[in-house]
């Protein structure tokens, strides 16, 4: 299992478009992927659950990945955050 603290970078927070990008990337991997904020953890492969997390711009979240390809999944999702979900 790998955990990493990250900051929500999209200007409008984790709304439908960045949530969709996150899920599309997460679903490429066999590992379980979860995102948590303020003690609430949701399935990183569900757009609806990610949106219900209500993670606004600048919010601190924890990405947790566990499974056979966890290192690759974590690296890919970290890149998505680093690219600011392709908003710029």
Per-residue pLDDT of the chain (88 residues; tens, 9 = 90+): 999 999 999 999 999 999 999 999 999 999 999 999 999 999 999 999 999 999 999 999 999 999 999 999 999 999 999 999 988 6
For the purposes of burial, counting CB atoms within 10 Å of the CB of 51, is it exposed (0-12), middle (13-18) or buried (19 or more)? middle
Q: What is the CATH number of the domain that holds 25?
A: 3.30.1340.10
Q: Give the CA angle between residues 69, 72, 76 to the nearest 5°.
A: 135
Let me know if 15 is a catalytic residue. Answer: yes
Active site residue: 2, 6, 11, 15, which one?
15
**Whole-model pTM over 0.95:** no
60-66: strand order across its sheet: 2-7, 60-66, 32-37, 40-43
Structural domains in the chain (count): 1
Chain CA centroid to CA 36, Å:
9
Residue range of the domain that includes 8: 2-86
């Amino acid at each position: 299992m790998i955990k990493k603290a990250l900051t929500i970078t999209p200007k409008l927070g984790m709304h439908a478009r960045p949530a969709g990008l996150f899920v599309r990337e997460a679903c490429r991997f066999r590992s379980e992927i979860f995102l948590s904020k303020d003690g609430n953890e949701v399935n990183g492969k569900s757009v609806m659950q990610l949106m219900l997390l209500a993670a606004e711009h600048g919010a601190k979240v924890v990405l947790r990945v566990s499974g056979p390809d966890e290192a690759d999944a974590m690296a890919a999702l970290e890149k998505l955050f680093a690219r600011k979900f392709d908003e710029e």
